[in-house]
Structure 1
């Protein structure tokens, strides 16, 4: 596995190093020892799937505030998505900045999202599945979010969303 820090502290691009032969490929997607050696102590306790049949479906920008904060390892297992992380930690030198990566079933790239960082994605193909590994487990009733088009972040989305939940559309600006 290759771990590449992004411009947001704690957000890490995780690339697999698959082994290929005539049968196809085999890739290690998560290894607690490899993550710990890279300075990322992450042992997920929950795995979730987001199935998205439509292109330009937007989900986000989600997070859970302390004491229920989550860390996530996010990857696409089918299709393609523009995956975004926004730093919401006021003491962070990258507060309010965002980073993004294109995740796809083909490139096998994942994005590690630490606690205090909002996460969302826009599908770039129909039938895109996004797999989340999460620690600690999601706590219903404590979800929060910020608006996907909040001018405080100025995220450069590759396309306008065609579909999103009413809750995602109604999130306030970060300072609202």
Structure 2
């Protein structure tokens, strides 16, 4: 009888050890999964952002332009953004070239502000881009016909995360119209 109760105690001990090992392995697996998820940064935005200017044509002393922002969400979660703004600066044919100060890292200074605004209405709290989707935003404006070069800049803030911003810029030569030079196709 003593032997049976000793066998029962040993069996109970083995079962309890097995349960403890199973619990420790489950906790270890959960920690490993969390570590892998955190390391992959799936919650981190994977957004490509480009800006462009389409020069449409000349009317009187103005050139009609379409300012374009292209966003592509390459991540796996939808991304919300706010304060989606643009700034178009330029140099006219009469302007002298010059470098800016420390604020623009002594780069070429496009000192004429041609247009400033937002790609989304001001009463929208935010906009979003779903995973795998490429979205274009546009704004139509005009610039003086004597503008020779433009610098288009776009900026936005991610809704998640404090002060996480994204910027894109592009420099373009303005085509000449009136039969001298056709706009790019």
**TM superposition score category, shorter chain reference:** under 0.3
Structure label with greater radius of gyration: 2
Give the TM-score normalised by the residue count of structure 1.
Answer: 0.25
Higher-RCO chain (CA-CA 8 Å, sequence separation at least 6) = 1
TM-score (norm 2): 0.24
